[in-house]
Each structure stands twice: as C-alpha cells, then as structure tokens.
Amino acid sequence: MIVFAGSSSKRLGREVAEDLGCELGRARLKRFPDGELYVKVESEVAGMHAVVVQSTCRPQDENLLELLLLSDALRDLGARVTAVVPYYGYGRQDRAFERGEAVSARTVARHLELSAERFLTVNPHKGHILSYFTIPARAVDAAPLIGMSFRGRGRSLVVAPDSGAKALAEGVARALGCRCDYCDKKRLGPGRVVSSAERLSVKGEDVLIVDDIIDSGGTIVETAREIRERGANSVAVACVHPVLTGDAAERVLAVAEELVATNTIETRFSRISVASLIAEELRSW
C-alpha cells in the first residue's frame, strides 16, 4: 500500500501512512499561468493499492479537482485507488430539496468513482450518501475518539444540538461514560437557528455539546446560550468537522470554554486525530 496526502490533508495523510507503516507517495502539483492545476505522480505505483487522503473542504472546488486528478493519474499508472475523503464537502446537499437542484453529494460520488475503486469517509452528514456510490463505500465513526479525548476532564453530560446529532452524541457519551441528551432545533435560514433545551436537566452540569459539523457556528452558539441560561455550570464544544466559516470559532469561544475538533479538516482546533481510525479500517478492508 502507498498513501498520498493531498493538499487539504497533508498531516493526516502522513499520519495514516505512518500508522500503516507504508510509503508516503510523491506527487508534484503546480499551477499553470492561467491558474489551472497540474498533477504528476512521481512514485512507482503500478500494481499497488494507492490511498489518496484528501478532504474536500474549503477551497472545495480546488481540493475536489486535485483529488480527481491525483486519483486518475494513479489509475492510469496501474494502481488500485481508494479515495479517503475525511470531510466530504458537497455532502450536505444530499437530495433535491427543491425541484431542479443538483444533488451535489451524488454528483461528487459519480465523479470520484471514475478513478477510485473504494471510498472511505468519516461521519458523513447523512449516512445515505454512501448509497450514491456504486463502488464499495464505507464510513468510520469518530465519536469514540472524541469521547476518549474528554475522559477525566470533568464532563458530566453530552448534549446534541438536535436529534440529527443524537447518535453521534450517544457515541461520545458512551466512550466518556456519562449521560446524553439532545436539544430541539429549528432552522430559520443559513446560520440562523433557535434551540430549545426545555426538556433537558442541565442545571449544575458540565456540558459537552457535540455536533458533526460546525459551519457558521449558529447552531452551537444558540445551543450553548440556551444551556447556559438554564443553569449549566460550564460548556465545552466538540465536533467532527470544523468547517468554521468566517468568525465561527470566535463566536463559539465567546459562549464556550473550549472548542475541540478532529483533523478531518486541519485547523488549530483539530486536536483529535482520526488517522488510527482510517488506518484500522483500511487494514481490515
């Protein structure tokens, strides 16, 4: 096996290669004067199993194209390609909410499988996006890693901002060994939500709010405010994918003591590495 770390997942790709004890592939990337991307694989890969690790996070289009070019070049050289996309950008448009909308989660899948033979991601926003692939497609769950990273740090209750994140929060709570509950969320528009913790008993609790994605931060900020107003002792926040658009991180840190994320997107908050999770899945696949 040989692992190629794309531009968006440089460190994570390297960690996966180290964990697997295999070679880190070499590829040359440059831009033509007009801005077009050029990719050249420089390692010998014929007959090998090549793993490309590349999140399609911001800049989404550039990262996606790099992944496609790299995978295609590897296939041309005779490698069998596994696309590891720790954060699957374009995944949130997982169906046509209105007639005529492109289902980007499916469009990306269709293009990836032109050159990849297998696909692996981490906590996709909706599990059913895996069914858009006709090649074997799997997802790994970062919840236990998040829970373990908070062990011994005094968290007494894990809260999901909405029912959609309940399963993730339950996984975190299980690994942490504490209670779990979820808020009721209503989305008013992009970045605008109202959250209700009326049902929950949060008084005096040291709460860990967990979500799959933090994008604008609207969901987490509203949830943290609501939980504080209802008497929580402290609030920490964790997510799998720190999209963190604009000043989202600052807004979250204004209402929470701490913000921790995994490295599916490499940010300064990405203190939990999913490398072992990915490596383990690849080893057993």
When asked if residue 136 is in the footprint of ligand R5P (CB under 6 A), the reply is: no
Taking CB under 6 A as the criterion, the residue among 15, 66, 170, 215 binding ligand R5P is 215
Query: Does residue 217 belong to the site contacting ligand R5P (CB under 6 A)?
Result: yes
| Residue of the chain from 94, 212, 226, 266 that contacts ligand R5P (CB under 6 A) | 212
279 interacts with ligand R5P by CB under 6 A: no
Nearer of residues 84 and 193 to ligand R5P, judged by Cβ: 193
CB of residue 73 vs ligand R5P: minimum separation in angstroms? 33
- Of 30, 185, 186, 203, the active-site residue reads 185
214 binds ligand R5P, rule: CB under 6 A: yes
With CB under 6 A as the contact rule, which of the stretches 6-14, 174-182, 214-222, 273-281 interacts with ligand R5P?
Answer: 214-222
Output the smallest distance, CB 25 to ligand R5P, in A.
32
Which of 15, 181, 205, 211 is in the footprint of ligand R5P by CB under 6 A?
A: 211
Alpha-carbon span 201 to 205, nearest angstrom? 8
Q: Taking CB under 6 A as the criterion, which residues in 151-210 touch ligand R5P? A: 161, 164-165, 191, 193
- How large is the angle between the packed helices 104-112 and 60-76, nearest 10 degrees? 20
186 is catalytic: no
- Contact status: 144 vs ligand R5P (CB under 6 A): no
d(CA 228, CA 61): 38
Catalytic site residues? 185
Question: Which residues sit at the interface with ligand R5P, rule CB under 6 A?
Answer: 161, 164-165, 191, 193, 211-219
